[in-house]
Structure 1
Amino acid sequence: MSISHAKLTAPELSQLWEDCLSDSLILCKLRHFEKHVEDEDIAAVIQTKIEKTLQHMALIEEKFHEIGYPIPVGFNENEDVDVKAERLFTDHYMLEFLRQLGHISMEAYGAAIAFSTRSDMRQFFLERLQDAQQLSDEATNLGVAKGYVSLPPSLPIPPKPDFVKKKSFLTGWFGERRPVTGREITFLFSNIQRNALGVATMMGFAQTTNSKTLQRYFQRGKDIANKHIEIFSSILKENDLPIPITWDTEVTDQTSFVFSDKLMLYQTIVLNSLGLGYYGLSMANSPRHDLGVHYTRLMAEIAQFTEDGTELMIDHGWLEQPPQAADRRQLMNE
Structure 2
Amino acid sequence: MAESRTKLTSSELASIWSGYMNDSLSKCVLSYFLKHVEDEEIRSVAQFTYDLSATHIEKLTAIFQNEGIPTPTGFTKEHDLNLNAPKLYTDMFMLSYINHMAKVGLLAYSSFISMSARKDIRSYFMEGLQETSDLYDNSSEVLLSKGLFIRAPYIAYPTRTDFVDSRKYFNGFSSLGKERPLNTVEISHLFMNTQTNVIGTKLALSFAQTSPNKQVQKWMLRGSDISKKHVQIFTKTLINNDIQPPASSDVSITNSTTPPFSDKLNLFHMSLLSSAGMGNYATAAAASQRNDLMINYERLSLEIARYAKDGGDLMVKNGWLEQPPGTIDKQKIIKTKDSE
Scaled by the length of structure 1, what TM-score is found? Answer: 0.97
CA contact (8 A) 1:172 1:291 kept: yes
Alignment-derived partner of residue 287 in structure 2: 285
- In the alignment, which residue of structure 1 is the partner of 2:68? 68
- Give the Cα separation in 2 of the matches to 1:13 and 1:213: 33
Aligned residue runs from structure 1 range 199-278, under 5 A: 199-246=201-248, 249-278=251-280
1:155 aligned residue: 155
Aligned ranges 1:28-39 → 2 under 5 Å: 28-39=28-39
Task: Report how many aligned residue pairs link the two structures.
Answer: 334
Superposition pairs for residues 31-50 of structure 1, below 5 Å?
A: 31-50=31-50
Distance 2:138 2:244 in 1: 24
CA distance in 1 between partners of 2:113 and 2:89 (Å) = 34
| Partners of 1:22 and 1:107 in 2: CA distance | 13
Q: What residue number does 1:78 align with?
A: 78
Aligned to 1:132: 132
- Equivalent pair of 2:148/2:248 in contact (CA under 8 Å): no
Structure 2, unpaired ranges of 5+: none
Change in Cα spacing, 1:270 to 1:93, as seen in structure 2 (3 Å) is same
CA distance in 2, matches of 1:158, 1:47: 42
2:166 equivalent in structure 1 = 166
Q: Is the 8 A contact 1:199 1:247 kept in 2?
A: no
Measured against aligned partners, the alpha-carbon deviations of 1:277-300 in whole angstroms (never above 9, x if no partner) come to: 111111001110100111111011
CA deviation profile, 1:169-197 (whole Å, cap 9, x unmatched): 10011262111111111110000100001
- The 5 Å alignment of 1:5-154 reads 5-154=5-154
Following the alignment from structure 2 to structure 1, what is the Cα–Cα distance between the partners of residues 268 and 249? Answer: 21
| Aligned 8 A contact 1:49 1:135 in 2 | yes
How big is each residue's C-alpha offset from its partner over 1:82-132, in whole Å with a ceiling of 9 and x where there is no partner?
112111100111001110111111111111111111011111000000111
What's the % identity of the aligned pairs?
A: 37
Q: Secondary structure at the match of 1:165?
A: coil
Say yes or no: does 1:320 pair with 2:322.
Answer: yes
Secondary structure of 1:320's match? coil
* C-alpha deviation, 1:38, in angstroms: 0.8
Spell out, residue by residue over 1:202-222, the C-alpha distance to the aligned partner (whole angstroms, 9 max, x if none): 111111011111111110000
SS in 2 for 1:314: helix
Q: For structure 1, list consecutive stretches of 5 or more residues without a partner in the other structure.
A: none
Q: 8 Å contact 1:200–1:248 — kept in the other structure?
A: no
Task: Verify the 8 A CA contact 1:205 1:264 in the aligned structure 2.
Answer: yes
Provide the C-alpha distance between the structure 1 equivalents of 2:333 and 2:292, rounded to a whole number of angstroms: 49
Counterpart amino acid of residue 41 in structure 2: D
Distance between the aligned counterparts of 1:244 and 1:283, measured in 2? 22
Please give the per-residue CA displacement for 1:266-285, whole angstroms capped at 9, x wherever unaligned: 11111101111111111001
**TM-fit CA distance, 1:2:** 2.2
CA contact (8 A) 1:88 1:252 kept: yes
Which TM-score applies when normalising by structure 2?
0.95
Q: Is contact 1:93-1:247 (8 Å) kept?
A: no
**1:11/1:262 Cα in 2 relative to 1: closer, same or farther (>3 Å)?**
same
CA contact (8 A) 2:21 2:74 kept: yes
Deviations 1:37-96 (A, max 9, x none): 011001001111111111110000000001111111111112211112111100111001
Given that 1:32 and 1:84 are in contact with CA atoms closer than 8 Å, whether structure 2 keeps it comes out as no
